[in-house]
Amino acid sequence: MSRRKSLKLVAKRPSADVPRPSRVEAEEAVRTLLRWAGDDPGREGLRETPARVARAYEEYFSGYDADPVALLRRTFEETEGYDEVVLLRDIRFESHCEHHLAPVVGRAHVAYLPNRRVVGISKLARLVEVYARRLTIQEKMTAQVAAAIDEVLEPKGVAVVIEAVHQCMTTRGVHKPGVTMVTSRMLGAFRDDASTRREFLAMIGKLGGEAGGFA
Ligand SMILES: [Zn+2]
């Protein structure tokens, strides 16, 4: 992927040109949905719900206010020549699908092959959270996490695998509990070099029976 294309992928805030409604308007929209569900927003149990939902949205979607590029920019160059894979495995995240606003809960595995510079390991978890706390689809989130690392750290390679359960599939629609969606994005050495890719897949336990067509 070209650097130019990835820059677009890591854009700070997709809605920069869309004016934000007031809290009063947001709460009124929740009342509308409650009526649409068939209930009475005026009854006691629902009276505080619009305010609670508005606050919950601030938490679910806090990723819109975060800048993934700034997050990764503080890097460390004293790596004593370390040039092996850096992997953060099993980063749990909660997101929401952009098609149904339904929860998506999963785990991300994020690796890169440093090119002199490394980033504090907690930043990788934070990066996943930034993109998870936006409306998204899993394919896009996977590509965005990989592109941001590629863009800022300019490593020799980036690998991202995300496994997640989509509640829009498990609690509605086709009602298929127990299915997990797996997406991956490999850049640089992880894409071009089969042994580097295999090393990563082995590290996250995806090599062997379960690996599917990964390796
Ligand atoms: Zn959905």
* Residue range 41-100, pLDDT digits in tens: 999 999 999 999 999 999 999 999 999 999 998 888 777 778 899 999 999 999 999 999
Residue 167 designated active-site: no
For residue 12, give the amino acid letter.
Answer: K
Q: 171 C-alpha vs ligand 1 centroid, how far in Å?
A: 10
Residue 210 designated active-site: no
Q: CA geometry: angle at 77 spanning 129 and 131, to 5°?
A: 10
The confidence score (pLDDT) of residue 4 equals: 46
> Which range, of 14-18, 35-39, 203-207, averages the lowest pLDDT?
14-18
The confidence score (pLDDT) of residue 171 equals: 86
DSSP codes, 122-155: HHHHHHHHHHHTSEE-HHHHHHHHHHHHHHHH--
| Residue 31 token pair | 């009342």
- Identify the band that residue 214 occupies on the pLDDT scale cut at 50, 70 and 90: low
Q: 10 C-alpha vs ligand 1 centroid, how far in Å?
A: 22
Checking if the pLDDT of 212 tops 70, the result is: no
Q: 104 C-alpha vs ligand 1 centroid, how far in Å?
A: 8
In the predicted model, what is the mean pLDDT of residues 179-205?
96
User: What distance in Å separates the CA atoms of residue 6 and residue 10, rounded to the nearest whole number?
Assistant: 6
Q: 160 C-alpha vs ligand 1 centroid, how far in Å?
A: 21
Percent of the chain at pLDDT > 70 equals: 89
The confidence score (pLDDT) of residue 178 equals: 83
Would you say the C-alpha torsion 22, 28, 32, 33 has a positive or negative sign?
A: positive
Q: 26 C-alpha vs ligand 1 centroid, how far in Å?
A: 22
Among the listed residues 96, 109, 151, 166, the single catalytic one is 166
Question: Is-contact 188 113, C-beta < 8 A?
Answer: yes
The confidence score (pLDDT) of residue 79 equals: 75
Checking if the pLDDT of 38 tops 90, the result is: yes
Among the listed residues 96, 109, 138, 199, the single catalytic one is 138
- Identify the band that residue 15 occupies on the pLDDT scale cut at 50, 70 and 90: low
- Identify the band that residue 14 occupies on the pLDDT scale cut at 50, 70 and 90: low
Q: 167 C-alpha vs ligand 1 centroid, how far in Å?
A: 7
Residue 109 designated active-site: no
User: What distance in Å separates the CA atoms of residue 149 and residue 119, rounded to the nearest whole number?
Assistant: 10
Among the listed residues 27, 94, 100, 154, the single catalytic one is 100
Checking if the pLDDT of 13 tops 70, the result is: no
All residues at 6 or more sequence positions from 182 whose CB lies less than 8 Å from its CB, including other chains:
161, 162, 163, 212
Among the listed residues 25, 98, 139, 210, the single catalytic one is 98
Checking if the pLDDT of 2 tops 60, the result is: no
The confidence score (pLDDT) of residue 175 equals: 87
Question: Largest alpha-carbon pair distance within the chain?
Answer: 65
Quote the mean pLDDT of the chain.
90
Question: Is-contact 20 48, C-beta < 8 A?
Answer: no
The model carries a pTM of 0.88
Q: 91 C-alpha vs ligand 1 centroid, how far in Å?
A: 21
User: What distance in Å separates the CA atoms of residue 174 and residue 43, rounded to the nearest whole number?
Assistant: 33
Q: 168 C-alpha vs ligand 1 centroid, how far in Å?
A: 5
In the predicted model, what is the mean pLDDT of residues 104-120?
94
Residue 138 designated active-site: yes
Closest CA to 131 of 85, 171, 91, 180: 91
CA distances from 69 to 18, 27, 41, 63, 118 (A): 22, 32, 41, 13, 14
- Identify the band that residue 209 occupies on the pLDDT scale cut at 50, 70 and 90: low
Alpha helix ranges (H) inside the chain: 3-9, 23-37, 49-60, 68-73, 121-132, 138-153, 167-170, 189-192, 194-203
**Burial class of 99 by CB neighbour count within 10 A (0 to 12, 13 to 18, 19+):** exposed
